[in-house]
Chains A and B, each alone.
Chain A
Amino acid sequence: IAGITQAPTSQILAAGRRMTLRCTQDMRHNAMYWYRQDLGLGLRLIHYSNTAGTTGKGEVPDGYSVSRANTDDFPLTLASAVPSQTSVYFCASSLGQGGNEQFFGPGTRLTVL
């Protein structure tokens, strides 16, 4: 693994289904983030984690949950997907919460029907 990876690349999901988007980084970064990107709305922060074992809510957390059991992994779960969660999801990491550069994963394109 080099950098930060996300899986799946894309997914079509029926409304009401549970879905977990995976994010893994091998840079030993302490801070990790989940964003959604919608046309005309830029990137909006969903949840973040400043270090393993801690998480926090971003700008649009409703309908999403995260966990940070270790430094490398930061999965995002949609407990019961709704069509408004159709978006492109980006995971990012930085050296620390004060890190000056966020490294972004390639993104997951999610469609909820």
Chain B
Amino acid sequence: GQNIDQPTEMTATEGAIVQINCTYQTSGFNGLFWYQQHAGEAPTFLSYNVLDGLEETGRFSSFLSRSKGYSYLLLKELQMKDSASYFCAVRDDTSGTYKYIFGTGTRLKVLA
């Protein structure tokens, strides 16, 4: 089957570093994505990993280990505007076409 797990909620302090973990199980893995969603808004793309290792984009980094079914999103130098929900999503091609499976999201609160 397909399953994605990530923590429901996290709290961190402005200026700190936070790591949001994601574990997944899928038979047809074809990429892992992280999206950010502010309350009342649409999700926006943050990062994409298909090979093992770290991808960095500014203050955000995403790591993937395919053998462990594990990814994390690392946010550095936290700002108040980083308070949002973060979704891990897996692209699966088991059925011969691509489908996206989203986790239930991690709500991050950044405190002053």
Q: Do A and B bind each other?
A: yes
A-B contacts at CB below 8 angstroms, number? 49
Residues of A within 8 A of B (CB): 31, 33, 35, 40-45, 48, 50, 56, 58-59, 90, 97-98, 100-107
Is chain B's binding surface mostly helix, strand, loop or mixed?
Answer: strand
Residues of B within 8 A of A (CB): 30-31, 33, 41-45, 48, 87, 89, 97-105
CB proximity of A99 to chain B, nearest CB, Å:
9
Could you list some 22 contacts between A and B, CB below 8 A? Answer: A35-B102, A41-B104, A42-B102, A42-B103, A42-B104, A43-B87, A43-B89, A45-B99, A45-B100, A45-B102, A50-B98, A58-B99, A90-B42, A97-B98, A98-B98, A100-B48, A102-B45, A102-B100, A104-B43, A104-B44, A105-B42, A106-B41
Q: How far is the CA of A64 from the CA of B103 in the complex (A)?
A: 22
CB proximity of A68 to chain B, nearest CB, Å:
14
Would you call B48 and A101 a contact (CB within 8 A)? yes
CB proximity of B47 to chain A, nearest CB, Å:
9
